[in-house]
Amino acid sequence: MDKREQKRRKMADVIERWERSGKSARAFSEEAQVAESRLRYWRSRIRREAVAQPGFVPVTILPDEPAVGSGVRSVIRDPAWIREVSVTGTVIR
């Protein structure tokens, strides 16, 4: 992995932590010791890359919990974002 990719992955991790924290850019940037402008730049760049990269994303399909009913819970993991989708009786296309 080259230096650029290492930096992108590091900043993707920082952005993910920021988004999970619920804090403002200013508060998080002070805590993480990252310039607020740099934080916003990397969030924008990572979002653009995620939209610009068509293709497949690894998906893990897990059985739903029995108490909930029949359905599927999948967790989609990508360096830029992590999302969880729960589906019951619905088709995602």
8-49 pLDDT, tens digit per residue, is: 899 999 999 999 999 999 999 999 999 999 999 999 998 888
73 contact partners, CB below 8 Å, separation of at least 6: 61, 62, 63, 64, 84, 85, 86, 87
Q: Which of 84, 93, 88, 13 is nearest to 46 (CA)?
A: 13
pTM over 0.75: no
Residue type, 27: A
40-89 pLDDT, tens digit per residue, is: 999 999 888 877 666 677 777 776 655 445 555 556 666 555 555 555 65
